[in-house]
Amino acid sequence: MEKAVGHNRIPHDSSRKLTKLYILALSALAFLILLGQILIQRALSNQTKDSYIVNMSGRQRMLSQKICKLCLSIERSPDSLYRAETAQKLRAALAIWSKFHQGLRWGDTSVNLPVNTNHAVELLFEEADTYFNEMYNKARNISSVVTNRQWNSNLIHEDIETILLNETSYLYLMDSIVKEFEKEARLKVLFLKKIEMILFVITFLVLVLEGLFIFRPAVQKISEVIADLTNKEMQLTTLNSQLEIKINERTKELFEKNQELEMKNKQLDKINKDLDNFVYTASHDLKAPIKNIEALFNLLKGQVPETQSKANEITEMMDESIDKFKDVLSELGYIGKAQGEIETGTEKVAFKDVMEEIKLTIKDQVQSSGALITEDFKAAPEISFSLKNLRSILFNLLSNAIKYRDPQRPPMINISTKKIKDYIVLQVTDNGMGIKENEISEIFNMYKRLHNHVEGSGVGMSIVKRILDNNGGKIEVKSKVGVGSTFNVYFRC
């Protein structure tokens, strides 16, 4: 299969040659297109300038006619105020006429007029200058004579005659100048058309050569590659079918393994429940024998004379051992019951109600230890949670705070709630013995006990963590040896 691929693959040298030719052809086309655009933009710019020049030349004709009319109006008007206003208009027209006359001939960037390079136009301007200067000087003379208090139309009659006499020749020459500018513009357009035709022919030839020497060989090579790819696709389809069969076989095998694992998990769950039931049942069943032992021992104590101090010492030790055994049985009974009661159902539960119930349960421990318990559930008085699970969490935290108290001071326990984002946080703070920082994570391990001087099973905090994990919550601990501990229990809202 690999040999077939190598045979039909485009040779590296051939591919490189085609690429170079293709890049060269594209570069030539890009250059021709860019050159064409530059020429077109330049021609458009020149046409705009030429149109502007032609318009300004025509405007000069109109201004010369306007100047003649203003001069005649001054001569014929008997109203001195009207003559003064007309003279002012005449001076403004003369300023514009003169500025553009010089600009058309010599160029003026302030009015966007380029320097004239047409020799024929220059000769016409030289001839027109004589008539322009005559008309300009006479018109200026008329605009200044108007202010003479000894006004008489005869004062400007000769000047007007001179202006009218020169106007015809000036207009004729300006018409000739306009025609020369138009002729120059047409020649530029014809030149541009020739250039465009040359560029078109060159572009066409480049496209033809590109088709013959680049695209046709490339199409042949691509056709060979496509045929090869089609063949490979068929081979891949066959391989995919074989792979799919193997995947189905493996999937079936994994499914059977998963079923086997599920069956074993169910068996393990049943064994765990049986163990929980055993612990609870054993603790319950042992209570009756221990009570009998306690009763018989009390009868035995009554038969021992008080004067026998050694016997009294032994009986006291036996009495203490019986009490410890009772405490262990009681705790085992609670643990077994708590393990069996972990559930996921929820209901509206008030923290204060659960707290009162637990304080009543451990009333003897609270009184014997002299514990001071303060509560503040205002920030979050209720929670949607399993009543049994919440009772188990609070019982473990509160009983541990009393159990692991500092012997040097009475226990002070503060229990409060608050809301933080998506959680309701139950905080339990005590002034007990505290926990070493490197041992904090170990308190959640099953049967792990950090203090052996206090009786216990080491299962309570493991149950608390298991309940929280099952309900999307978490527990955080901060503690300092000799100062106390703070447990933050996060319940998902």
> How many structural domains comprise the chain?
2
- How many angstroms separate the CA atoms of 38 and 33, rounded? 9
Cβ-contact 435, 448 below 8 angstroms = no
Regarding whether 221 and 89 lie in a shared domain, the answer is: yes
Q: Are the C-beta atoms of residues 399 and 413 closer than 8 Å to each other? A: no
Q: Does the model's pTM come out above 0.85?
A: no
Strands 474-480 and 484-492: antiparallel
23 lies in some domain:
yes
CA proximity to 387, closest of 347, 340, 337:
347
237 part of a folded domain: no
Residue with tokens 């216990």: 456
| Nearest of 319, 488, 278, 291 to residue 397 by alpha carbon | 488
Same domain? For 16 and 165 the reply is yes
Which two tokens mark 387? 């009543």
| Residue 285 placed within a domain | no
In a domain, 271, yes or no: no
Q: What does the pLDDT read at residue 282? A: 57
Helix runs in 107-118, H state only: none
Whether the CA torsion 338, 341, 343, 347 is positive or negative: it is negative
Longest dimension (CA), the chain: 169
Please report the pLDDT score of residue 110 as a whole number. 76
Would you state the structure tokens that stand for residue 440, as one six-digit string? 């904090």
What's at 383, amino acid-wise?
I
Nearest to 429 by CA among 484, 392, 391: 484
Which residue in the block uniquely carries the two structure tokens 């009390």?
298
Asked if residue 222 and residue 346 are part of one domain, the reply reads: no
How far apart, in whole angstroms, are the C-alpha atoms of residue 321 and residue 364?
Answer: 19
Judge if 350 and 471 occupy the same domain.
yes
| CATH number of domain containing 346 | 3.30.565.10
Q: Which of 229, 254, 280 is the last residue in one of the domains?
A: 229
The tokens describing 147, both together, are 């202010």
223 & 353 share domain: no
176 in the same domain as 53: yes
Residues 55 and 185 in one domain: yes
Kindly state the helix (H) or strand (E) to which residue 384 belongs, with its residue range. strand 382-385
Q: What is the pLDDT of residue 328?
A: 58
First to last CA, the chain: 61
Q: What is the pLDDT of residue 384?
A: 93
Element (H, E) at 416: strand 412-420
Nearest residue to 476 (alpha-carbon basis) of 409, 382, 405, 397: 397
Q: What's residue 303's pLDDT?
A: 63
- State whether 207 and 346 are in the same domain: no
Three-class SS state of 271: helix
Return the pLDDT at 4: 40
**pLDDT of the residue at 3:** 41
DSSP string, 459-472: -HHHHHHHHHHHTT
Q: ∠ at Cα 51 (47, 57), nearest 5°?
A: 145
Confidence at residue 119, expressed as pLDDT on a 0 to 100 scale: 82
Boundary (domain end) residue, out of 202, 229, 256: 229
Residue 359 lies in a domain: yes
Residue by residue, pLDDT tens for the chain (493 residues) are 444 444 444 555 666 776 777 777 778 778 877 877 777 777 666 666 767 777 877 788 888 888 889 888 888 888 888 888 888 888 888 888 888 888 887 887 777 777 777 788 888 888 888 888 888 888 888 888 776 655 667 778 888 888 888 888 888 888 888 888 778 778 877 877 887 788 788 878 877 877 777 777 777 777 888 888 888 889 998 898 889 888 988 888 888 888 888 887 776 665 566 555 555 555 555 665 666 666 666 666 666 565 555 566 666 666 666 666 665 555 555 555 555 555 556 889 999 999 999 999 888 888 988 999 999 999 999 999 999 899 989 999 998 899 889 889 999 999 999 999 899 999 999 999 898 888 888 888 765 555 555 555 557 788 888 889 888 899 999 999 999 999 999 998 8
Is residue 94 in a domain? Answer: yes
How many CB atoms lie under 10 A from the CB of residue 484? 23
Query: What secondary structure does DSSP assign to 2-46, as a single string?
Result: HHHHHHHSPPHHHHHHHHHHHHHHHHHHHHHHHHHHHHHHHHHHH
Structure tokens at 218: 């490339």
Q: Rounded CA gap, 41 and 443, in Å? A: 84
- Residues 6 or more apart whose CB falls under 8 angstroms from that of 340 comprise 273, 276, 277, 280
Residue 405 in domain: yes
Q: Are residues 11 and 146 in the same domain?
A: yes
Query: Which residue, of 170, 194, 229, is where some domain finishes?
Result: 229
How far is CA 454 from each of CA 245, 314, 434, rounded to the nearest angstrom?
A: 63, 22, 14
**Following CA atoms 20, 21, 22, 28 in sequence, which dihedral angle do they give, to the nearest 10 degrees?**
110
Token digits for 224? 């060979």
Range of the domain at 188: 2-229
pLDDT value of residue 382: 94
- Distance between CA atoms of 110 and 105, rounded to whole angstroms? 14
On whether both 352 and 214 belong to a single domain, the answer is: no
Is position 358 within any domain? yes
